[in-house]
Amino acid sequence: EAPSPRALASYPLSPLQGGMLFHQLLDPQSGIDIEQVALSIAGGVDVERLRAAWQLVADRHDVLRTSFREDGERPVQDVWPRADVPFGVERCGDLTEPEREAAVEAALDAERSGGLPLARAPLQRVRLLLFGDAAAAIWTFHHAILDGRAAQLVLCEILDAYAGRPLREPGPPFRAYVEALERLDASASEPFW
């Protein structure tokens, strides 16, 4: 696949990504493949260090800098050299526990309804709510770039980066997985299924 101008690489979608793209195009407002993680943070948070950790991890993994587009008959994903992670900060002041919970729920709803345009990387964003002595981070991302297991690994890497711990070498890029899927001979597995 020819890369989109300024993209590092372009390649086909996995079959699962193709299904998600189809459903997104069928009903763009459904939010069906919008995933969210809400983190409670006790004590103080260094906002700039957290923002930098999130960006560092996005810079390390191609899939976190991916967008999707039509390319003739087949959609493709473009990997961008850099995709700044939107990182909003909202100072909520000292709230009671029920007020904090209500603020987090309202932020989750607002972030989900905001959608994630598939044609613009990154397909993730963070909203940090500051509550005096505590905080909540809301991470919204599209399922087409991360499943639950991968999201957990990414989150662990972000927390390691925030804490200043050394990061492991990244695994193979998502493109390697897509290329391996394309090499599979589906007819060879037909007897098994």
Q: What is the pLDDT along the chain (193 residues), one digit of tens a residue?
A: 666 668 889 999 999 999 998 888 888 888 889 999 999 999 889 999 999 999 999 999 999 999 999 888 889 999 999 999 999 999 999 899 999 999 999 999 999 998 899 999 999 999 999 998 899 999 999 999 999 889 999 999 999 999 999 999 988 998 999 999 888 887 888 888 7
Q: Say what angle helices 47-60 and 148-163 make with each other, to 10 degrees.
A: 130
DSSP 65-77: GEEEEEETTEEEE
Residue 126 three-state SS: strand
DSSP assignment, residue 118?
T
Whether the model pTM is above 0.75: yes
Partnered with residue 42 across adjacent β-strands are 134
